[in-house]
Amino acid sequence: MTNEISTDRGSEKRSKFLLRLMCCSFSTAFTGGPDVIPRSVAQGFDVFLDATLGQAYGLVSDRLSFVHDDFRDLPDDQWWPRIFDDELRYFVPIRILYELMARFDKGGAEKSFLINSINNAIPKDHSFRFSEKHFELVFLSLFYHLHQFASQHPDIMEWMFGDGAADNVTSTFKTHLANSGP
């Protein structure tokens, strides 16, 4: 993901560091293949994050500029692995990821809201519609590294987020993995 979110530092898009970070996890879906999705999903994801996080979205996003500064020269698919390599430095993005995953574990309302937010952001004349299958692709991409980290370091997850945190991440991820089948 390059041009949609990555523009000059002074632009509005460049100030959405949290959006950029979240979209890094599923940016490969923008490049082609059978599950290609248009870049306009980022606009819908922005609406979702704004509604989900409220005023904290802008505040947290501003404070995450250091992540962009640290990783600006890395390919998108390297951002989250690097974050999880230094979990103490990057505690805030990991915390946000964990909190977002927990919201999707509480039923279908968040999932429906995200799907609708994305579809409303896609130009009406575009034939693409963001479906539940696309949601599962984005969900699995977004939370893959959190799941891997929880599997490899359950003790750190418990320390960071409390008892049962690693098990919650693993079970939520596996539920969505099962839903993503053919």
Mean pLDDT of 94-116: 88
**Average pLDDT over the chain, rounded to an integer:** 85
Mean pLDDT of 92-106: 89
Mean pLDDT of 130-140: 89
Using the predicted structure, report yes or no on whether residue 156 has a pLDDT greater than 70.
Answer: yes
For position 2, what pLDDT does the model report?
Answer: 39
For position 182, what pLDDT does the model report?
Answer: 59
For position 4, what pLDDT does the model report?
Answer: 41
C-alpha distances out from residue 158 to 39, 140, 151, 169, 173, Å: 35, 21, 11, 11, 17
Of 151 and 7, more confident: 151
The DSSP-derived string for 136-176 is HHHHHHHHHHHHHHHHH-HHHHHHHH-TTHHHHHHHHHHHH
Using the predicted structure, report yes or no on whether residue 181 has a pLDDT greater than 90.
Answer: no
Angle at 50 between CA 90 and CA 127, to 5 degrees: 110
Q: Please state which of the ranges 47-51, 93-97, 106-110 shows the lowest mean pLDDT.
A: 106-110
Mean pLDDT of 154-168: 95
CA atoms within 13 A on the CB side of 162: 5
For position 35, what pLDDT does the model report?
Answer: 60
pLDDT in tens, 32-46: 655 678 888 889 999
Confidence at 8, pLDDT banded by 50, 70, 90: very low
Tokens (6 digits) for 120:
């409303």
Inter-residue contact 153 to 86 (CB < 8 Å): no
For position 124, what pLDDT does the model report?
Answer: 82
Q: Please state which of the ranges 36-40, 63-67, 135-139 shows the lowest mean pLDDT.
A: 36-40
Confidence at 28, pLDDT banded by 50, 70, 90: confident
